[in-house]
A and B are shown apart, each in its own frame.
Chain A
């Protein structure tokens, strides 16, 4: 099956792109890497009437260090570029590890960092990663820019706060605190395939090995990527004992995710996976933090 007919625009600047998006309104759709959108169109699950292709907008592709030790990533930066970038590897190794789980290199060569976030697939890695890393998102429209916290960005499956005339332009990652460990855990039937459940976590320890902050992001187990609140409530200020972590994992599996029954597994089984993966992710992150 091939895509249904549509109009195609390939602006070469942000300004031109925003003009076009404003003009098209609800009939326009941004085309970034296309690795999710075009399969969906080929499968007739998406039928945009006009595509605004950002691939020729060179100014949206960059990775810049921020003064505080974080990073700013332009929305059209290819996943494989982020994955291979020295600064990203230095400052956010968990992001590299996460990206390596996105499909395969070939897809990551086309797929873009911002595209995956704006697509908001509940089974995708990057929305969860930016929740975990507490990113700030720069959103542009003809009337100017606005900043949205990652935690406010996703509102449902394939739904974000982006208005039709807006585009996601940049993702800013605040620096990781010292003594932060991180872990990526997933269960999937295929290495590069959709996860039945997946967890990314960070744990920051203080000088006496007590938890300063514990963050747990989940995906593939709800209507969008999720950030669990219980882990930090329970663990902050505490020594992260196996018992405490187990309590957190059990709670998150029961109360802080919403996996349905689908072809990938039943709800009961996937809650079990969340339980196991949250536990493993926290234990691993604590160990990493101590290194």
Chain B
């Protein structure tokens, strides 16, 4: 049918299907800024302005738009222009993945049209219908306030400042100081922070007061403008002729054998091009976790199997002319299931009589499939039992963390097609394009060289896309049909058939002396990997690494048993085992501090690791082979100082603050947690970067690093711009395309700034050397003392030549040469970032409701290459962590059906209820990282859960050892007290 509407001011006729949503009709019409995030009107990514009001389009039928005015961000700006609201979003760092940015921009427009002087509360309310999983809403709210000021014609303060001292950044100029062996000063007594760093040979052109030009500055993200403008940048923002739509048939049973599948009726449906089941494709065993070769065992999956192991497991996949036909075809597949009993609790899965989930004979590397035991991890350092015997007190308790869902707003989506060379192109929303290519090849029987994986912009990943999740199915369908195929998860499938955080039972046993010295830590874990072993070994290992490295001790022991259950598999999720381990650790540390009569903050300060300390558990767990890990830089004590001041830690002792006379049922409390994470996997993670110089002195950069919304493209470009003495706008960066860019392991393990940024710095140093050599020839001088700054190459005598002139000379005049450089970087060191997390709670003692008015986290991430994106990570990470602490967690009925299948039931924090979130950056200098940088992305996941639990204890004296702290649990705790 035809509808007529005014679309961005233009009279438009659209041909629509009467039962389609306005969302799909608009996207078909090329309005790509309107995004699919759910099917229930709850995420808000699909919002438009209809007659000036913000409305969701996924729950509006296309015909309902007939006769109305529809406005989207496409109508707000032209080429080379940008609307003030869009500008404010880019300037304030409000754009992370950018998937929901167009909706936020429209929400802002609707608000400011109505209220030119919005309050912070108005701004939060306006954003409350758009779920953002990246930002924690802090910067979007600031962007709204800035946009309103701009639209009122007011002057707004410039966004600049920052930078780090040149003498720090370029102290060791010349040869790269990356990846060298353990620095000598570590062995001595000098620290490595800004104030105490010694023995640095300064470059001659560096003056003490000078600051870096690009590194350390809050530069606008290189992709912010296109995302704020809603340009077609994501996987699905493409229309290929002849594209087919794929749909999965998934298991309705938690555990069943497929006796037979009859696809004849589905195949007979007009418009169906392929129906694939286990009968149609070769059986190739693999592991879906996106990790380095060889993928850790077990290898316990095949693309399509004759057994299903959880509700939502793959049964068949269909490709058809339209999504509607594909869905109809799925319903026509007859499956004869032999339903088997399920086991859902990892503590029951290993007991005799439990159903055996992996009884297939061809699985590789399951230690004891008959007991559903996926993996066992053991690590010991020194004699723990002996030290326990020497301790004054030994504490022991068990802690539980839930199955949190990544819930990136862009669902998993893959489009596959043959290119003109008959190579398979896989356009996919992935964090691991190179791993995906290598892992996909054997499954579809093509060599790696015939596969090209392209990663466009990603609408959030958080680990959920560190997985080869659906690429194989789309590829099989393209192989079967020779047509482009699009496969996208619904929001419901994200809950039923995607990945999640491993739920863990973590038991800590801690031996201490009465003077408050921790002597021994013993940690044992029961981890629930769900139906497949993806990431199970390494996630459990990281829980031990983080649980046993934060505090000094004389002996350490770790043991983990990981079990299969009939639930959706767990996988990688920001934090990767650390939040599970740190929850147990930081709550038991709090319990011990209270028990021994210490201030919980002082107890932490006393026992936490510091510069020069050895991290023995790392090698015990096999991280980085035999290379011992040390703390090279540590600003933890300063983090405690800054954050404690910000949260007003001393209020704990103020009875008038703790009990509100106006609301006597409310009790207030404060909680603290120490945070320590890693930066990349030592001796394993590697990334490459390639730089070439253009005629005008600009540079093309190709990196394998996979920006999933975090801003890694920007950070890498900043590192290169600083090294090459140019501006950020002179760097044209292109990331992640297996044909075009060097290899990179991908976006995980908090590695990108450090590893990929390291490769960028090394490549830039190669290019810098070539530029300097060429410039020296042009200036007829030597390279000695020559440096690059302000788009010029300066000789020691002060004369200079522009980078453009260098480029033209090199490309066109004499001894022609393409100035270019390629480098890769790996590190045997995984320098830990540190953080101090503080949380304020209000507990309603009658209902058990816990409200968090404020969270503060101070982080030592070394040098923050971009303080805007770094603080964005800390803000957003804290809110994601608060979700796990307070409300998020997938629950199952007795048959293995997940109970939360939509955002409304899953409960992600929205803007109007999110706390006031503060991120403080404590600068240190990490000698092993580019410009002193360490990781920042995952550490904000680690401290909020325990700090919430500790704050609740502070408020009401009830100790909660299980997350999330649902109000009913709090209430029961109060009843039992």
Contact = CB atoms under 8 A, between A and B. Distances in A.
Contacts of A269: 848, 967-968, 971-972
Contacts of B18: 8
A148 B746 CA distance: 63
A192 B492 contact: no
Nearest to B665: A276
A157 B904 CA distance: 19
* Chain B binding surface, main DSSP class: loop
Contact of A192 (B59, B886, B910): B910
A25 interface: no
A43 interface: yes
B912 A34 contact: no
Interface stretch (B61-69, B205-213, B560-568): B61-69
- In this complex, the member of B19, B47, B58, B910 whose beta carbon has the largest number of chain A beta carbons within 10 angstroms is B19
A10 interface: yes
Contacts of B909: 190
- In this complex, the member of A42, A56, A196 whose beta carbon has the largest number of chain B beta carbons within 10 angstroms is A42
Contacts of B58: 42
A77 to B, nearest CB: 14
Interface stretch (B49-57, B747-755, B762-770): B49-57
A38 B22 CA distance: 12
A104 B899 CA distance: 23
A80 to B, nearest CB: 7
A107 B39 contact: no
Contacts of B804: none
A109 B53 contact: yes
Contacts of A273: 847
Contact of A191 (B24, B323, B910, B968): B910
Given A34-B59, A34-B61, A190 B910 contact: yes
Given A34-B59, A189-B887, A263-B899, A2 B19 contact: yes
B56 to A, nearest CB: 6
B777 to A, nearest CB: 62
A39 B41 contact: yes
B74 interface: no
Interface string A252-289: 00000000000101100100110011000000000000
A266 B968 CA distance: 8
Interface string B888-925: 00010000000111101101011011000000000000
A194 B904 contact: yes
Contact of B39 (A1, A53, A193): A1
Given A190-B913, A192-B912, A266-B968, A39 B40 contact: yes
A246 B886 CA distance: 30
A5 B912 contact: no
Nearest to A276: B846
Contact-residue size bin, chain A (C-beta under 8 Å from the other chain): 35 or more
A6 B19 CA distance: 7
A138 to B, nearest CB: 24
B849 interface: yes
Contacts of B41: 35, 38-39, 106-107
A105 B490 contact: no
Contact of A107 (B50, B56, B126, B901): B56
A104 B910 contact: yes
Given A38-B60, A105-B54, A106-B47, A191 B129 contact: no
Interface string A202-238: 0000000000000000000000000000000000000
A8 B904 contact: no
A55 interface: yes
- In this complex, the member of B59, B900, B971 whose beta carbon has the largest number of chain A beta carbons within 10 angstroms is B59
B327 A265 contact: no
A194 B128 CA distance: 15
Contacts of A107: 41, 56, 129
- In this complex, the member of A6, A51, A187, A189 whose beta carbon has the largest number of chain B beta carbons within 10 angstroms is A189
B954 to A, nearest CB: 22
A105 B125 contact: yes
B128 A192 contact: yes
Interface in A20-73: 31, 34-35, 38-39, 42-43, 51, 53, 55-56
B197 to A, nearest CB: 47
Contacts of A109: 50, 53-55
Interface in B16-54: 18-21, 24, 39-42, 44, 47, 50, 53-54
A167 B68 CA distance: 25
Contacts of A53: 61, 63-64
A110 B60 contact: yes
Contacts of A3: 19
B128 A104 contact: yes
Nearest to B1: A8
A106 B56 CA distance: 7
A10 B58 CA distance: 19
A270 to B, nearest CB: 9
B362 interface: no
Nearest to B972: A269
Contacts of A56: 67
Given A105-B125, A105-B129, A187 B847 contact: yes
A43 B61 contact: no
Given A8-B18, A42-B39, A190 B63 contact: no
A243 B587 CA distance: 40
A5 B557 CA distance: 60
Contacts of A34: 59-61, 64
Given A38-B60, A105-B126, A190-B910, A5 B847 contact: no
Contacts of A51: 61
A43 B902 contact: yes
A265 B492 CA distance: 22
Contacts of A2: 19-21, 24, 39, 323-324, 327
Given A8-B61, A42-B58, A187 B967 contact: yes
A105 B971 contact: no
- In this complex, the member of B44, B54, B849, B966 whose beta carbon has the largest number of chain A beta carbons within 10 angstroms is B54
Contacts of A55: 64
Contacts of B967: 187, 189, 196, 265, 269
B471 to A, nearest CB: 22
Contacts of A196: 967
Contacts of A10: 63-64, 66
B664 to A, nearest CB: 12
Given A42-B59, A106-B129, A193 B907 contact: yes
Contacts of A104: 44, 128-129, 910, 912
A110 B56 contact: yes
Interface of A: 1-6, 8, 10, 31, 34-35, 38-39, 42-43, 51, 53, 55-56, 80, 103-107, 109-110, 187, 189-194, 196, 263, 265-266, 269, 272-273, 276-277
16 contacts: A2-B327, A8-B61, A34-B64, A38-B59, A43-B39, A56-B67, A104-B128, A109-B50, A109-B53, A191-B128, A192-B128, A194-B904, A266-B968, A269-B848, A269-B967, A269-B971
Interface of B: 18-21, 24, 39-42, 44, 47, 50, 53-56, 58-61, 63-64, 66-67, 107, 125-126, 128-130, 323-324, 327, 490, 492, 846-849, 886-887, 891, 899-902, 904-905, 907, 909-910, 912-913, 966-968, 971-972
Given A2-B19, A5-B19, A107-B56, 8 more contacts: A34-B64, A38-B21, A38-B41, A43-B492, A53-B64, A109-B53, A192-B128, A193-B904
CB-CB nearest 6 A-B residue pairs? A106-B129, A104-B129, A39-B40, A42-B39, A38-B59, A109-B53
